[in-house]
Structure 1
Amino acid sequence: MFQSHIDNSILSKEYINHPVFEEIKYMMDFYESVSYTCYFFFPSGTSYIRNYVSDIYIALEGTLESIQTLLKIGRINDVLVLVRKLFDDVLTEIYIDVIRKENPDWEKSLIVKDVDTWLKGKYRVPSIKKILAKLKNSETTQKLYPFFGWETYLKANRELLDDSVHSNRYQLFLLNCNSLHLENRIRFLQNVLIFLKQIMMIHLAFIFYLNPHYLMASDYVDYMDIGLTPPKGSESWIAPYAQKAFDKYIKPYPNLATFIKQECYLQIV
């Protein structure tokens, strides 16, 4: 029978109180906030009259909610599959944003064909390998790309997630058996936490770098909406939730934090 709460009779106290649950809640709240903020910014290059990115962020929040639900009933291998999906979805969103910004035919057309047809369900994005190659070589992202260790620990972590997708090991089947007492259950739960933090760090860095206006405080727009002159410099104020996310996910990496502060016009503390 499906249960939406954590089953205390099956899972240990250490599992139930693991920080991954609070982490997921925080990430969900972040995507809800940035989805609301970016909704008011119309993206160029598409025939849509609303910001499709807002919908993507809500979808990412939904995937996190699914991860949370599965964790609460101890289906860790299914969780790892969804974490891989989340990673792929984040990279897809970044890729679509990059090719939208790099449209070489602005004088001929205001629509980026691949982006617009993708939104209409008629274009399939390339493989993750090709997406990463694009991010590595693109003038838009090549300065940010080297900060994340794509060919080292991130590659190793993606291979671990791929193992779950393809059930490459017997123990991965066992991770979905929530009635078994597994010595490595907490270790895999900790891996989920590590993977989620890495994904969030990557996505947040790209948002700051490519779309800092999604993370600006609402003061400037609020003043404009009521016909008042915004406070001087308010267009560069950072939203409190964005500053908190920066402190949580980017500040622990000094080189990345310094780069983002240098490249982003927001007043990041």
Structure 2
Amino acid sequence: MSVFSFVSMGTKAFGNIDTYMYSSIQGTIKSIEAVLRAGRINDAYALLRKYHDSVVINVYSTLYLHDHLSIENFVVEKINNWLQAKESLPEFRVMSQYIKASPALKPINDILNIDDRYKKLRSRCNDHMHYNFYRHVMLNDSEIHIDNRGEWLDRLSRDALDLFVLHLGYVFFLNGHYMMSSDHLDALECGMQPEGDSQYWVAPYIQEIFDNIITPHRPDITATIKEWTTMQLS
């Protein structure tokens, strides 16, 4: 909800379009949880592909707005038309290539593309989505005994974590102010002078996410964010 106060420049939208993207992603993650409780690993992977799509769409639309917004181009038609259901966004491959080619994202792209984990992740999602192998059929039936079902759950967990890291890393580079604590705005609303550089302090729950989840899993991502962005992660 704290993101909503930042208006999405380059569109005619009221408020922030990312707010609803994030709540939609939240819904997808809750759907993954629900189908896993029913033992349907295959369906969970289909939803994980949707999660991947949502992350790329969010990063692409944000980056495209940053690249094309100007005084002469105050409304970026491609994104605004998408919001108005007048034009669809490019296919996944085109959006991914646009993100990878961005000079603004080069530091984090260099880290994210150092191995092929996301290519393999996408391939796994597609295998489940299209039933490329018979074992994916069996993984959607909780009544069938499969010896390595636990291994598939562990793999799904790691894949979901990798997508979470991917998304949060890009958001820090594109909209780092989304991560700020409330101290700066709280001071202004109370008529007080904010402490120096308080606009760069991250919210406590963001720091906790990095301390407990992201840094243990991908310390290289944390180091890159600290080196190349203004937000003050500890």
Structure 2 length normalisation: TM-score?
0.94
> Which position in structure 2 is the counterpart of 1:234?
198
Distance of 1:150 and 1:161 partners within structure 2: 21
> Which position in structure 1 is the counterpart of 2:9?
44
> Which position in structure 1 is the counterpart of 2:36?
71
1:37 is displaced (CA, Å) by 1.8
Unpaired stretches in structure 1, ≥5 consecutive residues: 1-35
Q: What aligned pairs does 1:160-239 form with structure 2 within 5 A after superposition?
A: 160-239=124-203
255-264 or 173-182: which moved more?
A: 255-264
1:123 maps onto 2:87 in alignment: yes
193-202 or 245-254: which moved more?
A: 245-254
53-62 or 154-163: which moved more?
A: 154-163
Q: What aligned pairs does 1:49-128 form with structure 2 within 5 A after superposition?
A: 49-103=14-68, 106-128=70-92
**3-state secondary structure, aligned to 2:14:** coil
Instruction: Give per-residue Cα distances to partners, 1:184-221, cap 9 Å, x unaligned.
Output: 21111111101101001101111111111000000111
129-138 or 246-255: which moved more?
A: 246-255
Distance of 1:156 and 1:232 partners within structure 2: 44
**3-state secondary structure, aligned to 1:168:** coil
Instruction: Give per-residue Cα distances to partners, 1:235-257, cap 9 Å, x unaligned.
Output: 11110111122222145433332
> Which position in structure 1 is the counterpart of 2:224?
259
Distance of 1:190 and 1:48 partners within structure 2: 40
1:150 is displaced (CA, Å) by 7.2
Contact map agreement 2:107 2:224 (CA 8 A) in 1: no
Contact map agreement 1:45 1:100 (CA 8 A) in 2: yes
Of all paired residues, the percent bearing the same amino acid is 28
RMSD in angstroms over aligned alpha carbons? Answer: 1.5
